[in-house]
Amino acid sequence: MTTPHPPKVAGISPPVPAPAHTSAPAVPTPATAPETAPAAPSASAVSPTPPAPCTLVQDRLAGWVSDLTTLHELTERLARTADLDDALREVLRAGASLVGAGRGLVTLHGDGDAGHPVTVALGLGRADLGHIETIPHGHGQDHNHGRGHGEDHDPGAAAPGPYVRLLDDLPPVGDRSGTAHPDIPGEDDLDPRHREVAARLGYAASYAVPLESPTADLNSESSPPPAAGRIGAAVWLYDEPAEPTRRQRHLAGLYCGYATEHLARLLELTHARETVAALYEELLPTRLPRVPGVRLAVRHRPGPRGGGDWYDALPLPEGALGLAIGGITGSGPEAVAAVGRLRASLRAYAVMEGEDPVAVLSDLELLLRVTEPARAATALFAYCEPAERKVVVAGAGHCSPLIIGPGRAEYVETSLSAPLGMLACWEAPSVEIAPEPGETLLFYSDGLLHRTGDTMDRAFTRLHSAAASVPRAARNDPDAIADHVLRTVLPEDASPADGEDVILLVAHFT
């Protein structure tokens, strides 16, 4: 019977194992050793045994594994951040733990269309930031292969203005190593203003690292740097004279290189959201019309991703007024574009047949099925004749308006109807309202109810209570009514629902 061989590992035959029953190998005796062995030395005279080479390798491997584990945990935490401010705070906290600092700040500068600079601090208040210039001097100059602080900048020269430029003495673009000031009070060639501010803020050393893409060939003159490039810098402050070790610098550089890629994506996403929000605002009315007999006010809080809610108020022939509010499914640029088309179409139908709100919504529903077959929309249109104290309302899947006045606070009883685009042919009866002088109609989006965080029944109850509790002195001011309702329905710390907009349109009849 043959003896089984141990399996191979990665194609390499393992060494032959030692026998099971063997004694420890004897230490070979040199040939020139005398026959009489000297007396054993005392314990105090024994020199320490140097570690075996395998022990050194194991210790080094253990250190690498520990560093990789730390970087993995920190980058995983950073990857879970979806907001730019949260990501910047996470970068500050992680960097502080890597370099052993207690405070710091990080700045993303905005070049060209990248937006305005963004600065977040750790352990520094607003008054502290008032002494620090957070924008690197000349960061937009010679961005391909120059220095972040300019070629002719002298770090020892006095910084212009009353600020201390902590981010000006960074290495050249393409060099991601940091710049350390280990002993600010003891550095003779440092700007005296820097030492003064350091003493006032209570830090004695600093370490600044550029936020630069590790994959960017920024020293190459043949091709421009990628979009990430150097997008900003971070600086950490020490309460006592200190300097990060070589290992800490290496880990901080690796982490900041990964963080640059993540921050660049969030910066681009934030800029895109701001562009969509600006376009969204331009698609809605820039000012409310002035019609005798009625005063208007509106409050609009867009959602984080640019939702599909909209409103409109347009003067109509013979002193009439058209009020509309609604929403379309989806969010983002596509929903914003659909809002623009829907609102423009409703305006045209309102001018032609606004006195019949059912006809206006029927035409809108037909257009929606032809041009936006994959979308559904809610809408409510009100044709107002302030001189006649007459309001005709028709709704398609939208929340009923609320009427408040000295003697009542109640929801208008509109017919229950499906949203536009849900049925083959939409039609629902309209409702006529006769508001008295001093009464107010409230039109609102469903986002106002969703942002409360309550169930729909409780949200409707909260809105009704808020409208009924408007102070008597504010009931003739539509702006005061809108502010009171929003302040009562939505607490200050209410977080917006995903993609939800809040619209409150107030029409007060005089």
31-90: per-residue pLDDT in tens? 444 444 445 445 445 556 666 778 887 777 887 888 889 899 999 999 999 888 999 999
Domain-embedded: residue 238: yes
**CATH label of the domain that carries residue 165:** 3.30.450.40
Clarify whether residues 261 and 389 are in a common domain: no
Domain count within the chain: 2
Domain-embedded: residue 310: yes
Q: Where is average pLDDT lowest: 156-165, 177-186, 289-298? A: 156-165
Domain-embedded: residue 439: yes
Q: Which amino acid is at 292?
A: P
Whose tokens are 């059912």? That residue is 358
Clarify whether residues 106 and 244 are in a common domain: yes
d(CA 293, CA 320): 10
Give tens-digit pLDDT for 334-377: 888 888 888 999 999 999 988 999 999 999 988 888 888 888 88
Clarify whether residues 444 and 379 are in a common domain: yes
Clarify whether residues 183 and 306 are in a common domain: no
Is 21 a residue whose pLDDT tops 50?
no
Clarify whether residues 366 and 247 are in a common domain: no
pLDDT of residue 74: 93
- Mean pLDDT, residues 287-316: 88
Computed over its alpha carbons, how large is the radius of gyration of the chain?
35
Domain-embedded: residue 30: no
Is 401 a residue whose pLDDT tops 90?
yes
Clarify whether residues 325 and 269 are in a common domain: no
Domain boundary among 260, 277, 294: 277
pLDDT of residue 103: 92
- Torsion angle in degrees (nearest 10) through CA of 25, 30, 36, 39: -70
Domain-embedded: residue 306: yes
In the predicted model, what is the mean pLDDT of the chain? 79
**Percentage of residues of the chain with pLDDT beyond 70:** 75
**Percentage of residues of the chain with pLDDT beyond 90:** 38
pLDDT of residue 417: 80
Clarify whether residues 264 and 382 are in a common domain: no
Asked if residues 372 and 312 have their Cβ atoms less than 8 Å apart, the reply is: no
H or E segment at 351? Answer: helix 333-353
Beta bridge partners of 326: 310, 379
pLDDT of residue 497: 46
Domain-embedded: residue 78: yes
pLDDT of residue 22: 39
- Mean pLDDT, residues 169-178: 75
Clarify whether residues 107 and 78 are in a common domain: yes
- Report the SS3 class of residue 209: strand
Domain boundary among 234, 261, 277: 277
pTM for the complete prediction? 0.63
* 311 against 499, higher pLDDT: 311
Q: Where is average pLDDT lowest: 10-14, 117-121, 345-349? A: 10-14
Domain boundary among 235, 261, 277: 277
Domain-embedded: residue 76: yes
Clarify whether residues 169 and 316 are in a common domain: no
Clarify whether residues 361 and 272 are in a common domain: no
Q: Which residues, in sequence order, are CB contacts of 365 under 8 Å at separation 6+?
A: 396, 420, 421, 425, 426
Clarify whether residues 183 and 233 are in a common domain: yes
pLDDT of residue 18: 42
Is 469 a residue whose pLDDT tops 50?
yes
Q: Which residues, in sequence order, are CB contacts of 77 under 8 Å at separation 6+?
A: 90, 94
Question: 187 pLDDT band (50/70/90 cuts)?
Answer: confident
d(CA 348, CA 314): 11
Is 426 a residue whose pLDDT tops 80?
no
Q: In what order do the strands lie in the sheet with 409-411?
A: 294-301, 502-509, 440-444, 402-404, 409-411
Clarify whether residues 251 and 332 are in a common domain: no
Q: In what order do the strands lie in the sheet with 377-385?
A: 309-316, 320-328, 377-385, 390-396, 431-433
Residue 125 structural domain: 58-217+226-277
Domain-embedded: residue 2: no
pLDDT of residue 320: 95
